[in-house]
Amino acid sequence: MKKRHFILPILSTLLLAPAFLASQVQADETAASASEEVQSQAPASNQASPVAEGEVSQTEPAMDSPKSEISAQDLARAVNVADENQVQDLPEANILHTNDVHGRIVEEKGVIGDAKLAAVIEQERAKNPGTLVVDAGDAFQGLPISNSSKGEERANILNQIGYDAMAVGNHEFDFGLDEAKKYKEILNFPLLSSNTYVDGARLFQASTIVDKNKNVEGDEFVVIGVTTPETATKTHPKNIQGVTFTDPITEVNKVIDEIEARAAAEGKNYKNYVVLAHLGVDTTTPVEWRGSTLSEALSKNPKLKGKRVTVIDGHSHTVESTTYGENVTYNQTGSYLHNVGKVTYQAGRLLGNPQQISADSVKDLAPNPKIAELVKQIKERYDQENAKVLVNNSPVELNGDRENVRVRETNLGNVVADSLYQYGQTGFAHKSDLAVTNGGGLRETIQKDKPITKGNVIAVLPFGNTISQIKVTGKDIAAMFNKSLGSILQEKDGKPVLDENGQPLLEPSGGFLHVSGAKVYYDTTLPADQRVLHIEIKDPETGEYKVLDPEKTYYLATNDFLAAGGDGYTMLGGPREEGPSMDVAFADYLASADLTAYAAINPNSRTISLSSTKDSDGDGYTDIEEIKQGTDPANANSYPAGPAKNDGSKESSNQDPSQDAASGLRAVSNRNVKVPLQAAKTFSKADKQLPATGSQTSQTAPILALIMAGLALLGFKKAKQED
């Protein structure tokens, strides 16, 4: 009988609890539904949208509004007739343009050079004297032949050629703010940027009106300049102290408003707008700052209706010709004077016909003799200064292609980083633990089987950056590599572009880091903030690679651009020791290094791309797990915990499975994903508290109450029986 008295309360509790819980859940859902129904039946006046000052609410008729004397259809018809007449009045027009020349003064294979550029422009102007000639920025800095005069000799060449206007690119600041201002004085045509400000005032002229023939009305070109706000991180911070770059679209539209208002006051009607933009269409550039986004916005600007709008862009080094809407023609010529762009307008047509005049198409064109002589003099001076041979013959190609050094490890990046690391062992108060340099600072390839000269070194490192050493924590280093490897992925025809390991390649980014004294393992198939799987830092005393310690202090050698937080590396910055120019350290290293050790162009030995799920030896342990343990991923017998079980699971070891001490990473249960240890540390007992009242879990309280009541009843009956 005792057994019957024990079972009965428990069974009644278990039978009644689900019904009681279900009724409470239903009551809660009914209450919530009733609440939503009450809200949905609230009077519309309680949700009225505010009406801007000066507007009339669409929900109520305007009082005392005058009656229209013309129907909407008649008004639209009249506007369309006016637009047609305006379009018919558009004359023929030609525009020649360049962008991202980066100091390509001399003609080379695939490079037009300034003497032939002058000949192309001269030839086109002979056909149409009203041809507009413009540049979309980054004209002066690039090759050492131009850098040797801080771009001033090339500025003089552009004067001689007869440009009409130029946009300010981010690299116009590379020789300092004073030099950028000096260009305005050297050039005898306007240097334009509508969105570059110092102390609330525009640093450069926002726009200009080019009138090629004073006797003809309607052929004028309104030219507006705009500069990428990425300049804030695409040149050395010291070069733009006090300078701000405002939103491109907002500023361009503001200038259009100003010009149109002035034209209306003066009784003029400008029909040709040219926007010189140094914005680009890189996918790594914020959408709102791209030239394509600007073009789309201009196609919808009502003040430009019936007018021709030509966007001449730069910055992304792409060859592109696109149209937007009914009246916007977008064009970009690539870079390095591989092409000269040409936009031709027929009379009465809104959209232009974009073309590319390639270097190959003008190979038989005679160069302009005046400019050719000027280039010859510049080259002779430069050659004399930079002919010193550092290495008699390079046994390898050190690859500096933009599409390579900005997406993954290259041998050129390794050599430059090694030169910084070597200097860092003796050049500062503390030995450098590691060195990094950004792919955007590597600008040329060193050819195989040719001498390496001082000029070659400067061509690779044209910015004149100095070596810097800063003190950082392991946490800063982890954040730095997360940023370096955080770009979006390349795609072609909707599919990812893969590297030699079958891993997706990153989009080109000037902030991609090349390293020395460190190994960084990463998987691009993972979310951007989880790609870094493991980081090791070389001990400068023993040469042994040790796991990154987030709390430890390290000494990082880099260039002064990155040390100051350039390219968006905000985790860097702060006090630093300064060394010599990077090209000096690079030249010294090349003279003594065994370059045969750099034969592989993409060695995948320092920033190491791999799959976090790959198990090369099939022992049940992923390659990255074996790397963290210091074992051979290709040897199934090398894992310290012993061979894998037959069921594929791993043998247990003394290591806590929730904490991977070797890598500083913590595993997430039942997932093939790793998260940084510092993120995992944020979980604590507080995270395991019961949900607050009102949560779904809190509705188990009725069950507990019934169980307690049942137990109490059991105790009462038991006591009674014992009595």
62, part of any domain:
no
Q: Is the residue at 707 inside a domain?
A: no
Q: Note the pLDDT of residue 386.
A: 86
Q: Which domain holds residue 625?
A: 612-645+654-680
**Predicted pLDDT of residue 216:** 82
Q: CA-to-CA distance for 692 and 699, rounded, in angstroms? A: 11
Q: Are residues 208 and 338 in the same domain?
A: yes
Strand boundaries in 50-205, DSSP class E: 93-98, 132-135, 165-167, 191-192, 196-198, 201-202
Helix (H, G, I), strand (E, B) or coil at 512: coil
Q: How confident is the model at residue 236 (pLDDT cuts 50, 70, 90)?
A: confident
Is residue 370 located within the same domain as residue 451?
Answer: no
Tell me the percentage of the chain whose pLDDT exceeds 90.
64
Higher pLDDT, 248 or 84: 248
Residue 520, domain member (yes or no):
yes
* Residue 448 lies inside a defined structural domain of this protein: yes
Check if the beta carbon of residue 446 is closer than 8 Å to that of residue 412. Answer: yes
In a domain? residue 562 = yes
Residue type, 179: E
Residue after which a domain boundary falls, among 351, 379, 407: 379
Same domain, 223 and 369: yes
Same domain (yes/no): 480, 537 = yes
Are 327 and 467 contained in the same domain? Answer: no
The DSSP code sequence of 409-476 is --HHHHHHHHHHHHHHTTSSSS--SEEEEEGGG---PBPTTS-EEHHHHHHHSTT--EEEEEEEEHHH
- For residue 77, tell me if it sits in a domain: no
**CATH code, domain carrying 257:** 3.60.21.10
Q: What is the pLDDT of residue 86?
A: 58
Per-residue pLDDT at 231: 93
Examine residue 3 and state whether it is found in any structural domain, yes or no. Answer: no
Claim to verify: residue 640 and residue 598 sit in the same structural domain = no
Assess whether 308 and 418 both reside in one domain. Answer: no
The pLDDT-based confidence of 14 (bands split at 50, 70, 90) is: very low
366, 237: one domain: yes
Together in a domain, 427 and 557: yes
Report field, pTM of the whole predicted structure over 0.85? no
Q: Into how many domains does the chain fold?
A: 3
Give the model confidence (pLDDT) of 131-152 as tens digits. 999 999 999 998 878 988 999 9
The average pLDDT across 388-405 equals 95
Does one domain contain both 190 and 315? Answer: yes
- Residue 701 pLDDT greater than 90, yes or no: no
- Which token pair is 590? 């090349």
Higher pLDDT, 617 or 154: 154
Asked if residue 303 has pLDDT above 80, the reply is: yes
Residue 180: pLDDT band with limits 50, 70, 90: very high
Check: CB of residue 119 under 8 Å from CB of residue 367.
yes
Do 292 and 424 fall within a single domain? no
Q: Which of 20-29, 82-91, 176-185, 504-513 has the lowest mean pLDDT?
A: 20-29
Q: Are residues 314 and 213 in the same domain?
A: yes
List, for residues 217-227, the tens digit of each pLDDT value: 888 999 999 99
pLDDT at position 321 over 60: yes
CATH label of the domain that carries residue 567: 3.90.780.10
**Confidence label for 242 from pLDDT (cuts 50, 70 and 90):** very high
Average pLDDT in the chain: 81
Q: What is the mean pLDDT of residues 539-566?
A: 93
d(CA 483, CA 570): 10
